[in-house]
Amino acid sequence: MRDEAGPQPSMGLRGHSAFQPSAVAEKALIISHEAVNGEYRHMRLACNAVAAGAAPGQFFQLLCPAPPGEAPFLRRPMSVYGADPATGTVEFLYKVTGAGTRGLAMLGVGDQLDILGPLGQGFTLDPAWRHIVAVGRGAGLATLAPLARAARAQGIGVTAILSARRPELVVSEAQFRAQGAEVLAVTESDGTSSPAYVERQLRALTAAGRCDAFFTCGSARLLRLQQDLAREFGLPGQVALEQQMACGLGICFCCVRDFQVEGRTLHKRVCWDGPVFDLLEAVA
């Protein structure tokens, strides 16, 4: 468990006036919301400064409206696709898969969505790195997208290997290209998405000195592949993981997963200790 300091309690005469939250629940205004392909939708919201300061890999808890005949009760975790303090916006990219995302899909520009965040521990970048590799699949590509900008801001080059079933489902490609990243899209329909093919690419990047760290999200097979390579070459890495959540604040312990830490298997909370974890501690 992390030794979490939390905010200082208020000591002023007016009691709670000094409290500064680090995550806020807010009814944010939807300023754009559109389908990007047959499966994914992109939502952009105007939000408070705390939310707009979300780091890559962090997430929000969304209070989704109820679609007809369904009643999602809990909030739904959603990783940050983009956040910009300059414009006061936060973005999500999601695939409609259940009651929560069906509810989200009903919302239009000008509607409000109750968002709580930013939450959890995001990706961290070591300024000593010169080039990193981001390998993702499916919805995991949305989680990796904000890394491109953060890496560029620190002068770190990025190669992104983006995996999906079909070329039109490769999301986040534009985000990576816009930040000068090298992009390789691999798909089932092209026959390029097998772990063996990805492994050849990763070995070539490692041999060329273009992989100081692995970043991954969205595929257990690709996670295992990168864990093997990280061990073989002594490289660090980070993985963003998913789990069913209730509170999102580390309270309820419903989102625990197994991790291997110093030879022991232990539980960590995805919402609080993660969702970004050390690549080698994750149990794929």
Give the orientation angle of helix 220-233 with respect to helix 195-207, to 10 degrees: 30
13 binds another protein (CB under 8 A): no
What is the total count of residues that contact another protein (CB under 8 A)?
36
Q: CB-based contacts of 70: which residues, under 8 Å, 6+ apart?
A: 99, 102, 103
User: Smallest distance, Å, CB 156 to another protein?
Assistant: 29
68 binds another protein (CB under 8 A): no
Residues in 110-129 that interact with another protein by CB under 8 A: 116
Cβ(227)–Cβ(214) below 8 Å: no
The whole-angstrom separation of Cα 104 and Cα 61 is 12
Nearer to another protein, 53 or 250 (CB): 250
Nearer to another protein, 101 or 179 (CB): 101
The torsion defined by the Cα of 120, 126, 129 and 130, in degrees rounded to 10, comes to 70
Nearer to another protein, 47 or 225 (CB): 47
User: Any idea which residue has 């329909």 for tokens?
Assistant: 189
Query: Strand 112-119 relative to strand 214-217: parallel, antiparallel, unpaired?
Result: unpaired
Q: Which span (34-42, 165-173, 228-236, 250-258) binds another protein, by CB under 8 A?
A: 250-258
1 binds another protein (CB under 8 A): yes
Please report, for residues 34, 103, 111, the alpha-carbon distance to residue 63 in angstroms, rounded to integers and kept in the order given. Answer: 19, 9, 13
The whole-angstrom separation of Cα 64 and Cα 61 is 9
Of the candidate residues 56, 57, 67, 72, the single one contacting another protein (CB under 8 A): 72
Residues paired with residue 240 on neighbouring β-strands, in sequence order: 217, 276
6 binds another protein (CB under 8 A): yes
Of the candidate residues 29, 31, 185, 256, the single one contacting another protein (CB under 8 A): 256
9 binds another protein (CB under 8 A): yes
Nearer to another protein, 1 or 128 (CB): 1
Cβ(198)–Cβ(218) below 8 Å: no
Of the candidate residues 29, 30, 36, 249, the single one contacting another protein (CB under 8 A): 249
262 binds another protein (CB under 8 A): no
Q: Which span (2-10, 156-164, 193-201, 230-238) binds another protein, by CB under 8 A?
A: 2-10
The whole-angstrom separation of Cα 79 and Cα 270 is 12
Binding site for another protein (CB under 8 A): 1, 3-4, 6-10, 15-16, 19, 21-25, 63, 71-75, 116, 244, 246-254, 256, 267, 272
